Amino acid sequence: MSESFSRRDFLGLLGATTGAMLAGCVKERGLPAGQAQSKPNIIVIFCDDEGYGDTGKYGAKGYVTPNLDRMADEGVMFTDFHAATAVCSASRAGLLTGCYPERVSILGALGPHSPVGINDSEVTIAEMLREQGYATGIIGKWHLGDHPQFLPLRHGFDEYFGLPYSNDMWPNHPTAGKDYGPLPLIQNNKVLAWLEDQSMLTTWYTERAVDFIQRHKSGPFFLYLAHNMPHVPLFVSNRFRGKTERGLFGDVIEEIDWSTGQVIETLKAQGIDKNTLIVYTSDNGPWLSYGDHAGSTGPLREGKGTMFEGGMREPCIMRWPGKIPTGLVCNELATTMDLFPTFAGLAGGKLPEHKIDGHDIWPLIIGQEGAKSPWEVWYCYYMGGLQAVRTPRWKLQFPHTYRTLDGHPGGTGGMPVEYSYKEIGLTLYDMQSDFAETTDLSANYPEVVAQLQEYGRQARADLGDELTGVKGSGIRPPGTVNWSSGPQTVQ
Catalytic residue IDs: 88, 143
Cβ(198)–Cβ(167) below 8 Å: yes
**CA distance between the termini of the chain:** 11
Cβ(151)–Cβ(142) below 8 Å: yes
Distance CA 18, CA 212 (A): 9
Cβ(313)–Cβ(77) below 8 Å: no
- How far CA 354 is from CA of 104, 196, 312, 476, in Å, comes to 11, 42, 26, 10
Cβ(376)–Cβ(393) below 8 Å: no
- How far CA 51 is from CA of 282, 312, 373, 476, in Å, comes to 8, 8, 22, 30
Choose among 322, 323, 345, 318: nearest CA to 334.
Answer: 318
Asked whether the CA dihedral 254, 256, 260, 265 is positive or negative, the reply is: positive
Distance CA 224, CA 279 (A): 10
- Total number of residues shown for the chain: 491
Q: How far is CA 316 from the centre of its chain?
A: 11
Cβ(91)–Cβ(85) below 8 Å: yes
| Buried/exposed code over 246-256 (b: 16+ C-beta within 10 A; e: otherwise) | bbbbbbbbbbb
Distance CA 469, CA 460 (A): 9
Asked whether the CA dihedral 378, 309, 319, 277 is positive or negative, the reply is: negative
Distance CA 274, CA 431 (A): 35
Strand partners, 116: 480
Distance CA 108, CA 304 (A): 11
